[in-house]
Structure 1
Amino acid sequence: MSRILLAFLMLAALVSCGRNYSAPQDLDNACSIVSERPKYLRAMQATERKWGVPVPVQMAIIYQESKFIGNNRTPMKYVLGVIPMGRQSSAYGYAQALDGTWSEYQDQEGGRGKKRDKIQHATDFMGWYMTQTTKETGVPVTDAKNQYLAYHEGRAGYNRGSHNSKAWLLTVSDQVAARAVTYDMQLRSCGKR
């Protein structure tokens, strides 16, 4: 094999390893999102088939958690406004899954090869988590508002009602619910639901 061909193949392999972590262009239009990123729809449909979590609910929560940015992280914390002290939490990826919860998911659902920055793994995680939420809290997987509250606060926090003292979080959960309804109507209008 010639050196030029080998170099070209190595370069092609390297380029194909890169991932596009940018957000889709129009986050307010579900049809635009799934048209621009068809693998998102395939991943969410697989999660809906496996776990029963509707695509619009998944989309609304991913929007709220990461704005569809696959390598999204929480902001840094600073002391005296300039000295970095680490991130606010270990949340990472499309679903903003915490390290401990992600490890639990990996242990129960398929090993260490699952990555938070891969949409198919992130949506499967969400399906797993929301199904566990239904078992522990009784909140249906179709209830975007309360599933989001349990997702944000953790199931134990949700059961304690910790969200009830956070007016800002209740407002956000209403926005998540409204976005799920909007995404559902949009997906129906473009024949993706």
Structure 2
Amino acid sequence: MAVLWLSGCSLLAPAPPDDQTDLCEIFAEQPDWYDYARSSQKKWGTPIATQMAFIQKESSFRSHIRPDREWLLGIIPWMRPSSAYGYAQAQDPVWGEYLAETGTVFSRRTHMKHATDFIGWYNKRSQKMLNIPLTNAGQLYLAYHEGQGGYARGSYKAKPQVRRSAAQVAAMAKRYSAQLQRCEAQLRCDKFYQVWPFCR
């Protein structure tokens, strides 16, 4: 029964977007995602495009993804390398800090609303602790991947793959931002009671 319940949860989650390189297409498929990311931007300050670039890199928009298990002796499924889970690949300890600090006890890492809010919260903390501008997607991602302590120690400097990932996130955020400029007005007017140009 537990297996069926977990499978059902995964099946109920939205499928990953067909084209993950076009933010307008992503939001056309999942308009609620725009609302969630915009709400997080208003609350914490991280641009919508940066939030979505983080999620694309971390999970490719797969809601229930976890790191692959390691194999003992090459044949026995063993532990996972980390507790990362969900759209934002938030790990258990920092997710617990997020829940405690924001008071959102029932938030789920498998829901886009909570994933975007978590990313906004985390990046705001990076801004305060490390003085990283919220417009600098690459440096924010380094702090996100390495943790604020790791970033402060410069742990990423010895990790070329992490630096490459940060550069990819920065490039995707820039691309998403340019794309959003052409479709955001329409996204803000997606409710039946809203009339352009009075959408907010």
So what's the TM-score if we normalise by structure 1?
Answer: 0.88
Distance in 1, matches of 2:54 and 2:171, equals 11
Contact 1:21 1:71 in 2 (8 A): no
Alpha-carbon separation, structure 2, partners of 1:23 and 1:158: 30
Counterpart position of 2:69: 76
Q: Counterparts in 2 of 1:41-190, with a 5 A limit?
A: 41-190=34-183
Tell me: CA distance 1:113–1:49, structure 2 relative to 1, closer, same or farther (3 Å): same
Distance across 2 between alignment mates of 1:167 and 1:188: 32
The two structures have a TM-score, normalised by structure 2, of: 0.85
> How far apart, in 2, do the equivalents of 1:148 and 1:111 lie?
23
Are 1:71 and 1:93, in contact at CA under 8 Å, matched by a contact in 2?
yes
For 2:27 and 2:65, the matched residues in 1 are separated by 19
Displacement of 1:17 after TM fit?
10
Task: Return 5+ residue gaps in structure 1 as ranges.
Answer: 1-14
**Matched residue type, 2:88:** A
Partner Cα separation in structure 2 for residue 38 and residue 63 of structure 1: 16
- The letter for the 2-side match of 1:78 is W
Distance in 2, Cα, partners of 1:18 & 1:77: 25
Deviation at 1:16, TM superposition (A): 10
Once the two structures are TM-superposed, the CA of residue 80 in structure 1 deviates from its matched residue by 1.8
**Partner letter of residue 107 of structure 1?**
A
Given that 2:16 and 2:62 are in contact with CA atoms closer than 8 Å, whether structure 1 keeps it comes out as yes
Amino acid at match of 1:22: A
C-alpha displacement of 1:162: 0.3
Tell me the percent identity. Answer: 40
Alpha-carbon offset, residue 27 of structure 1: 0.4
Q: What amino acid is aligned across from residue 137 of structure 1 in structure 2?
A: L
- Cα distance in 1 between the residues matched to 2:9 and 2:139: 39
Residues matched between the structures, number: 179
Question: Partners of 1:36 and 1:71 in 2: how far apart?
Answer: 19
**Structure 2: any 5+ residue segments left out of the alignment?**
1-7, 188-200
Q: Which amino acid aligns with 1:113?
A: F
State the match for 2:12 in structure 1.
Answer: 19
**Residues of 2 paired with 1:175 and 1:18: CA distance?**
29
CA distance in 1, matches of 2:9, 2:85: 23
Deviation at 1:190, TM superposition (A): 2.2
Which AA in structure 1 matches 2:126?
T
Secondary structure (helix, strand or coil) at the match of 2:12 reads coil
User: What SS does the corresponding residue of 2:79 show, helix, strand or coil?
Assistant: strand
For 2:9 and 2:31, the matched residues in 1 are separated by 18
Rounded Cα–Cα distance in structure 1 between residues aligned with 2:15 and 2:67: 16
For residue 18 of structure 1, report the CA deviation from its aligned partner: 5.9
